[in-house]
Chains A and B, each alone.
Chain A
Amino acid sequence: MVYFILKRMVQSVFVMLAVAFLAFSLFRFVGDPITQMTGVETSVKDQERLREELGLNDPFIYQFTRFTGDLLKGDFGFSYRTRQPVAKMIASRIPATLELGVVALIISLLVGIPAGVYTALKPRGVLTQTILMTTLVGVSIPTFVIGIMLIFIFGVQLGWLPTFGRGGTVQIGGWESSLFSVDGWRALLLPAITLGVYQLTLTMRLVRAEMTEVMRSDYIRFAMARGVPTASLHYRHALANTMVPVITIIGLQFGGVIAFSIVTESVFQWPGMGLLFLESIRFVDIPVMGVYLVVIAFFFVLVNLVVDLLYVAIDPRLRIKDVS
């Protein structure tokens, strides 16, 4: 078990190194950092001096090691566009994106898992067919269209909810949160639903597929043959076994939540990391792009490590050694 976790950690470090390398290559090879940092009035001599000072003439490996070291120390460099420290820019945007992502994920799980279970247990029901058709349309509508539709209906036509921004936020120890005011929740609702819909359909279809497989397994049939009560059969026996693969995929889906948050943030002008990233692409602000990548990959890796731990907690085969 310890080995399993350690192995996953080593793999995570590898992924992080690869992403750091990607970010470094971006910084180093896409455009010339010196011309980006200096204005037209800087002389060639000054440029050369700066190049030497920043160590850009050092061997490649040396530069990469220093870059990684700086990342570990939390020194993320400066934005080409705003000249502000990137760390500060990103940090101020993290709460907005995380809250949006987590609320969306919770919505998708709260609706997706029960719907998946229902459609697996009643495969021929009318409601099941309706749900399946709806989700098929759900995965086919681009996130931005869902956002536009929600804005159009609830913002423009009905005028119930705000259509852009975070509304009122509350500062809690430097963390700017939407979760502690009605206003904040009102602003969060539409973007979170928009972001959650796509994940919801994926979760539902996955739970349905896995649950259908489990319901055909020998141990479920054996439990049926022993007259185990239906509720226990469905939830204690079948759903628990379904969750093992589902949890893995949900961890992987977290990447999807982050990616689609870029779109959602753009539609709702939600001031998160995604919007920052979009701006940085438009202005070729390489340091911000690179750091965004590293931060996203870090969250992804972190979530998947947590998933691995959950996995161990659920499945005794990973926890307890086989005697035979």
Chain B
Amino acid sequence: MLTIKDLSVKFPTRFGDFTAIEDVDMTIKPGEIHGLVGESGAGKSTVGAAVIGLLQSPGYVANGTLTLGDTDLRNLSPAEAHKVRGGRISMIFQDPQTSLNPLMTIERQLIETIQTHSTVSESEARNRAVDLLEEIGIKNATERIKAYPHQFSGGMRQRVVIALAISTDPELVIADEPTTALDVAVQSQVLDLIQRLAKERQIAFMLITHDIGVIAQVADRVTVMRKGRVMETGVTAQVLGKPQHHYTQQLMDSVPPLDRKIDRFRVPEADNTIASNGAMAENWLLEGSQHARTGLSLTGLSVKFAGPRTSIFRKPPPYVALDDVTLNIKPGSIMGLVGESGSGKSTLAKAITGLVTPSSGTMELGDDVLPYGKSRSRQHPSRQLTQMVFQDPYSSLNSRHRIGDILTEPLWFYGFVKDEQEREKLAASMLSLVGMQPDAISKYPHQFSGGQRQRIAVARALLARPRFLICDEPTSALDVSIQAEILNLLKDLQAKFGLTILFISHNLAVVRQMADDTAVLRSGKIEEVGETNALYTAPQADYTKSLLDLTPVMPTTWQT
């Protein structure tokens, strides 16, 4: 059993010690899956790293006790600590693509780990490794064990990682975001595996994640953290179903439900004084677009990329990113587009915006046919009418440009406002409209948080007076409470200005909250399109059904 008491971890900096976590208490019993949940900066991973003794230098445990069974983890010599790692405590990392040594076979990595912690012969270790791989769900393990990591798919690779982590029969496994890099189908398999291992082998799991759905599905107990402190801890159904702490309640309110649509998320709203400054921008936008609701229709759109070349003589088979996609987005509506990674969602957005050249099909914005990628001139009107909000607010704003320059660029570029001061005024007003202080205009992007940057990105898109807005995973880089704020903002703006929006996301629950219609994309093909409510309640395609089934949800009884 792992017991953590009064744990504090500090990182010395030039300005004195920075306290990463403070007074953290937690116990994990054998066979228990203990969820550790919180937003970025909560210190979840630091707890895990402190327990296994791998804090990033120069961090150190400043206070508290860490005991595993009878062993005081803080009083181990470096050699003893090294023995405990792997032997009694093990760890699973987030990204299976990077957590295996690419130059060694699975076999060598497994045998090395097993032989490190028990004195067995090589063939004995190999037998154990093969058994383990089979237990973990890798078929034909005697053959597959000879493969290198790159020969496994992402989900299989995460299984191998888990096999490595439990190959020495540890008492405790720290799983740091083990499913965040995986698609839902694979995620559900990995979560099942973790549950099975906890039950059958009585391994204690510390499951660190930001995804409350995952916690709800597999964790026996949960600890909620915020800014390095524990907010609330207890049985999962208790904490998430009847949250006692204000922060947990707020967090639960921000989680988009999969099984119904809510009008607005209950999150703190920007105050009204800011919003009133946005009148100028609001009027300016309305005068540009009030009569112009513009739809987009795609007919038989296909995009092919050159495949990787492996022979000089044969032309490589093309990689089909989009296959005969037909989609009609009604003027003034929001079309949701869901799909797993690699399904072609982003390629679709790039084809519409002209960054990628389709091989066949037509794209029409209103009544105008959009020319293909390279043949679309720089002056083409669609370049102004179509705007985009990107996924990563840290890379979508040029970090070397002032916010004012970023925001006024579309105004002079499209020739909307000739006067420079007028442009700055309008940009400042637009900032108010998206819920930011107008003085942001003289600052630089690095002075803002992710959520604030995403608001700025929305303001930039609006300053081009678009009629068609593409939101490509606009909230997947954000914490769930910030996501709720941005979704509220997008809903408000859409209602005010009648924008047509293509809303792309891998998160089915988010799309349900946003979209009037939803399309499901898989390997470049549209599996199903329909009115959102109907599609979620009565999916037609098997693929949609399985997606909906596998997405972790909270039991309906918990909803407040």
Contact = CB atoms under 8 A, between A and B. Distances in A.
A and B touch in the complex (CB under 8 A): yes
A226 B113 contact: yes
Contacts of B94: 218
Given A218-B99, A323-B152, A224 B54 contact: yes
Contacts of A244: 103
A226 B54 contact: no
Contacts of A221: 54, 93, 99
B148 A317 contact: yes
B151 interface: yes
Interface of A is mostly: helix
A145 B521 CA distance: 67
Contacts of B89: 225
B102 A241 contact: yes
A165 to B, nearest CB: 46
B173 to A, nearest CB: 10
Interface in A80-106: none
A73 interface: no
A324 B152 contact: yes
* Residue from B84, B86, B117, B154 having most chain A Cβ neighbours under 10 A: B86
B231 to A, nearest CB: 27
Interface stretch (A21-29, A198-206, A232-240): A232-240
B91 A3 contact: no
B90 A219 contact: no
B95 A226 contact: no
Nearest to A217: B98
Nearest to A230: B82
B101 A3 contact: no
Interface in B431-446: none
Contact of B165 (A226, A240, A321, A322): A226
A17 interface: no
Interface string B88-118: 0111011100111111110000001100110
A3 B86 contact: no
Contacts of A2: 311
Given A219-B98, A224-B85, A3 B54 contact: no
A3 B148 contact: no
B100 A219 contact: yes
A229 interface: yes
B312 interface: yes
A226 B101 contact: no
Given A6-B312, A317-B150, A324-B151, A226 B116 contact: yes
Contacts of A61: none
Given A3-B312, A6-B312, A223 B101 contact: yes
B151 A227 contact: no
B309 interface: yes
A54 B453 CA distance: 72
A226 B148 contact: no
Given A222-B161, A324-B151, A227 B84 contact: yes
Given A222-B164, A324-B153, A228 B112 contact: yes
Contacts of A158: none
A213 interface: no
Nearest to B96: A218
A227 B148 CA distance: 21
Contact of A232 (B112, B151, B167): B112
B339 interface: no
A221 B167 CA distance: 17
17 contacts: A3-B309, A6-B312, A218-B93, A221-B93, A222-B100, A224-B54, A225-B54, A225-B174, A226-B91, A226-B116, A227-B83, A227-B168, A228-B112, A237-B101, A323-B151, A323-B153, A324-B151
Given A226-B91, A227-B113, A228-B86, 20 more contacts: A2-B311, A3-B309, A218-B93, A219-B98, A219-B101, A222-B91, A222-B164, A224-B85, A225-B54, A237-B104, A240-B104, A241-B103, A316-B102, A316-B103, A316-B105, A321-B151, A323-B152, A324-B151, A324-B152, A324-B156
Closest 8 CB pairs of A and B: A227-B86, A324-B153, A225-B91, A226-B86, A227-B85, A218-B98, A218-B99, A316-B148
